[in-house]
Amino acid sequence: MELRDLLDRLRRDYAALNPQVDRIDALLAAAGERVVDDHVALRTWADPRCDIDVLARPFVRAGYRAAGAYRFPGKRLVARHFAHDDPALPLVFISELDLGAFSPALQDRVRSLLEQVPEDMFQAPDLCALGRPWRVAHAEVEALRRESEYAAWLAAFGWRANHFTVAVHALVRLGDLARLGEFLKAHGLRLNGEGGEIKGSPAQGLEQSSTLADLVDVEFSDGRFAVPACYYEFARRWPGPDGRLFRGFIEGSADKIFESTDRRLAT
């Protein structure tokens, strides 16, 4: 499997699920901008059959290297990012939920989802793009949500891109996050205001904003229900003392970016 095919598929499925994606891409194109992907973010369970290392396999095989590790104790999850020497390839940010830190009830619920996954699917090189291989009731998803928004999202959507991120430093006219934010809001899009609409700073090497996830109708075993799906992120990277763009992530900012899929913020 070609890496480009995998990235294209992740992006196509992401745009197909979330109406805001094509809309934002079209708005940026109409403003004369060309969208370059800064990073793609994936979510998974910290189970040895499907953890960060497993999802990262096709990327590592294509030359990506593990580059940074991040902790989010309040959300009981950790993340790593992977980078390729080819600067044209997006960074890959993968997080995993620390199941052992949750109640036995949550662990049982997740176990019953993972029990439905055929053994050979865990080995598939495109596991990160397979979507939701388990049947699940909306009631179960909402029960998970009481302990973890992340668990609810992953149970509802499975393995797919959680978001793509526009490289704002590569934009020509809207290369400033405040200006880009005003542009998006003027077109009716809603930004995640947790911790401020712009997270991070030039001194940290990274400024980030994101939309709030679209509410999307999803088929569950007990009917169709609207749940928050994916968001779009905007990242402006700044050069460090060596003159090269910062290529990592910032825990304090990422912690708030995660909340872009929270049910309480979605409309």
Q: Which region among 3-11, 61-69, 186-194, 253-261 touches ligand OOG (by CB under 6 A)?
A: 253-261
- Give the three-state DSSP class for 158: coil
* Nearest-approach distance from CB 92 to Ni ion, in angstroms: 10
User: Which CB sits closer to ligand OOG, 137 or 169?
Assistant: 169
Among 78, 229, 257, 266, binds ligand OOG (CB under 6 A): 257
Among 159, 258, 262, 266, binds ligand OOG (CB under 6 A): 258
Using the rule CB under 6 A, is 56 a contact of ligand OOG?
no
User: Which CB sits closer to ligand OOG, 148 or 253?
Assistant: 253
Cα distance between residue 208 and residue 202, in whole Å: 10
- Give the three-state DSSP class for 174: coil
Q: How many C-beta atoms surround the C-beta of residue 148 within 10 A?
A: 22
Instruction: Give the x-and-dash track for 197-236 against ligand OOG (CB under 6 A).
Output: -----------x------------------------x---
Among 15, 24, 28, 41, binds ligand OOG (CB under 6 A): 41
User: Which CB sits closer to ligand OOG, 137 or 216?
Assistant: 216
Q: Which does 40 bind (CB under 5 to 8 A by kind): Ni ion, ligand OOG, none?
A: none
Q: How many C-beta atoms surround the C-beta of residue 26 within 10 A?
A: 10
Instruction: Give the x-and-dash track for 147-176 against Ni ion (CB under 5 A).
Output: ------------------x-----------
For 195-225, give one letter per residue: b (16+ CB within 10 A) or e: eebbbbeeeebbbbbbbbbbebebebeeeeb
3-class SS string, 26-76: HHHHHCCCCCCEEEEEEEEECCCCCCHHHHHHHHHHCCCEEEEEEEEHHHC
How far from each other are the two terminal CA atoms of the chain, in whole angstroms? 38
- Give the three-state DSSP class for 213: coil
User: Which CB sits closer to ligand OOG, 109 or 260?
Assistant: 260
Instruction: Give the x-and-dash track for 9-48 against Ni ion (CB under 5 A).
Output: --------------------------------x-------
Q: At a CB cut-off of 8 Å and minimum separation 6, what does 218 contact? A: 138, 156, 157, 224, 225, 226, 227, 229
3-state helix, strand, coil in the chain (%, to 5): 40, 25, 35
* Nearest-approach distance from CB 223 to ligand OOG, in angstroms: 26
* Nearest-approach distance from CB 260 to ligand OOG, in angstroms: 6
- Give the three-state DSSP class for 241: coil
* Nearest-approach distance from CB 165 to Ni ion, in angstroms: 5
User: Which CB sits closer to Ni ion, 92 or 106?
Assistant: 92
CA distances from 222 to 99, 131, 134, 136, 219 (A): 25, 19, 14, 8, 8
Binding residues vs ligand OOG (CB under 6 A): 41, 43, 93, 95, 162, 208, 233, 249, 253-254, 257-258
